[in-house]
Amino acid sequence: MNARLAFLSSLLLAVLLVAASPGTGVAEEEGNFAQKVLKNLTLGQPVVTDQLFVFPLLASTVPDALAVDSEPNVDTVDFDEPEFMRRRYDVLVKNGGDKPVLVLGGTVLEGGKRDRLIRRSILVGPKSDLEAAALPGSASSDIRKESEPFGVAEALAPTYLRKKALFGGSALTVTTFIARALDFREEDDDRKSIVAIAESPRLKQFCLPCHESMSSLPQPKAETGRVIGAIGGVRGRIQGLVLFGNNEIFISYFERFLKGATW
């Protein structure tokens, strides 16, 4: 590990320890929710390559299993355009399963009359529907005449797009990004969408060292999984932190998170 990464490791550990310490007048065994969560976490050994570094976040004990489907691309989940949507670009999430399903903010959908970017994470109950706030995921000139079935993209949106979407991004949030990143698109691909960029072999080749490094991450057995999050960075810059309730959900979403972080 070079000096810069060693410094980052120490800095991140210090941040976690400071955040976990109880505030003035708060008993050590008490504290707010964030203090309790952070107190339960430690940084694992980092995975470091030429372009990627990942610090696994380990729970001190094995978290209880959550009775949810950890990702939306299961046979029982469908996405649709609401007939009478409350907000423009909203997406109707239909869960036909027997367990709640998690849809993470930043999930990109290809389909409908226009691709979508889910603004914030939602939990859809069993045998129920929920209208999710979304942004357009394609250029205004890339609108279909007829609606098509939605599919879930293989990568989350880039970190900064997810932040903008979460905190009130406009319809121009994604379209502005697309206009700047279309050079990654395949020459014979006429889609002007975030999905076209994410699926491009050019982008995959550009980020290949990062994607290959994912195989080095700790993969504990599901019944004893303590890895519930990670701090990820690309080319010396921290891209974001992901933290989930248990190891199963973390593993389900981490590859999508990392692919989004490498844009």
Q: Is the pLDDT of residue 21 over 80?
A: no
Q: Which pLDDT does position 163 carry in this prediction?
A: 85
Q: What are phi and psi of 247, to 5 degrees?
A: -65, -35
Residues of the chain with pLDDT > 90: what percent?
Answer: 22
Q: In what order do the strands lie in the sheet with 134-136?
A: 134-136, 116-118, 108-112, 148-152
Q: 49-53, 213-217, 243-247 — which is least confidently predicted?
A: 213-217
Residue 73's pLDDT band, with cuts at 50, 70 and 90, is: confident
pLDDT (average), residues 220-237? 72
Residue 252: Cβ within 10 Å count: 17
Contact 2, 10 (CB under 8 A): no
In whole angstroms, give the CA distance from residue 263 to residue 164.
16
Residue 228's pLDDT band, with cuts at 50, 70 and 90, is: confident
User: Cα 123 from chain centroid?
Assistant: 14
What tokens does 104 get? Answer: 């993470």
Quick one: which of 197, 175, 174, 176 has its CA closest to 186? 197
pLDDT mean across residues, the chain = 77
Q: Which pLDDT does position 203 carry in this prediction?
A: 63
pTM recorded for the entire structure: 0.74
Q: Is the pLDDT of residue 230 over 60?
A: yes
